[in-house]
Amino acid sequence: MDFNASEVILLLVLAIVLFGPEKLPELARKAARVLHYVRRIANDAQGRLREELGPEYADLNLADLNPKAFVAKHLGPDATAELDDVAAELKGARTSLDAAVAGSGDEETERPASADAMAAATPSARPATPFDPEAT
């Protein structure tokens, strides 16, 4: 996340208006403690994960677990460009398919009903199980 000077000033003014100048230093200290605590937990979790996985995963970076980053790291930038092309092609096919389905709204009455809808429409051969609200 990138902040410019005007956004920082706006946040500072908003914080002063909401909390007042006397409570602001205390809230900043609490926020810093929480941030430090969360970072420590994250670092401990990463350390434990590396320890459990063993020395062959010592250079494990959690950002590498992102599928796009994983492909870029192991297959190179050409593979990510190809994947972006395939994703754009699939998105175009999805859009045209959605448009075709939306344009043929009259065919919905001609389609056979699903098995769930047919089962709900036909009466059941078994009698309904009685329900006792006081039993629970």
The whole-number mean pLDDT for each consecutive block of 10 residues of the chain, a chain of 136 residues, reads: 82 88 90 95 87 78 75 74 85 90 63 51 59 72
Q: Are residues 85 and 42 in the same domain?
A: no
pLDDT of residue 36: 96
Question: 72 in a domain, yes or no?
Answer: yes
Domain range spanning residue 23?
1-60
Is residue 50 a part of any domain in this protein? yes
Query: Quick check: is 117 in a domain?
Result: no
pLDDT tens digits, 52-72: 888 877 777 777 777 777 777
Distances (CA, A) of 78 to 65, 72, 74: 19, 8, 11
In this structure, the answer to whether residues 15 and 46 fall within a common structural domain is yes
